[in-house]
Amino acid sequence: MIRNLIVTDFLKIKRKGFWFLTFLGPFGIVAMQMVNYGVRKDYLLKQSEDDWGYYLDNVSSFTPLAIVLGIAILTSLMASLEDETNAWKQLIALPVTKINVYLSKFTVVISLLFLTSFLLMIFTLGFGVFLDLGELIPYIDVLKYSFYPILAALPVLALQLWIAVVSQNQAIPITTGIIGTILAFAGSALPDWMIWKWPSLMNEWEKPIINVVLGISVGIVLYIIGMVDFNRRDVK
């Protein structure tokens, strides 16, 4: 049954802009570096001893903003699919549980986000090769810079989905998403315990894997809390 729900939700997002947003995020991140390096490539290359590392740092500086804002938009749109047609009651009336409905929404959004990470990896690698930054391509680093931020952002995803599915007005999750984006922009100034800092992969130990472990662990906890709360609530 959960498989049918997921397939149905994927059908619902068809022609709703989800796929365009999934492409736009990673393309926009790399496109900014296309402009950056297109205008002052020689200057940037002089600033670094490791051209690939410096390039990846430039790309990753915009990744947390795109991820947090993208999560807010995708989760809100996902919830609004049912809000627009008052379909929540019809959905729950089917022989499915609220837990499965919640899991289906979460699965669709996280699938789109992982696709975004994959596209970011391809675009980042492709433009880096085009720039001819060196023959020794750091494939592992490209992989980490592409997927680590998504894993570290799982608590943000769990929180935004929770807010989106229980809110009568989608202006609420969008507002919290904008606030989260602002916090992500100021990530370097935030304490390490704030979830909006984690996608930046920065911490006092300078070990990105800590953010990933925290993201997965806290994300699971927030997902369970949101799912339980949604299961106990009356349908909109």
Using the predicted structure, report yes or no on whether residue 151 has a pLDDT greater than 60. yes
Give the distance, in angstroms, between the CA of residue 28 and the centroid of all CA atoms in the same chain.
14
Using the predicted structure, report yes or no on whether residue 88 has a pLDDT greater than 70. no
Average pLDDT over residues 117-131: 95
The DSSP-derived string for 126-168 is HHHHHTT--SS--HHHHHHHHHHHHHHTHHHHHHHHHHHHH-S
Largest CA distance in the chain: 63
pLDDT in the model for residue 156? 97
- pLDDT confidence bin for 87, thresholds 50/70/90: low
Q: Which residues contact 111 (CB under 8 A, 6 or more apart)?
A: none
Average pLDDT, the chain: 89
DSSP label at residue 200: G
> In the numeric block, which tokens belong to residue 185?
């922009």
Provide the sign of the torsion angle of the four alpha carbons 147, 149, 152, 155, taken in this order: negative
pLDDT in the model for residue 92? 64
Q: Lowest-pLDDT range, 84-88, 134-138, 178-182, 219-223?
A: 84-88
Cβ atoms < 10 Å from Cβ of 193: 10
pLDDT digits (tens, 9 = 90+) for 8-56: 888 888 878 899 999 999 999 999 999 999 888 888 888 888 899 999 9
CA distances from 155 to 67, 68, 128, 183, 216 (A): 12, 10, 30, 14, 7
Backbone angles phi, psi at 110, to 5 degrees: -70, -30
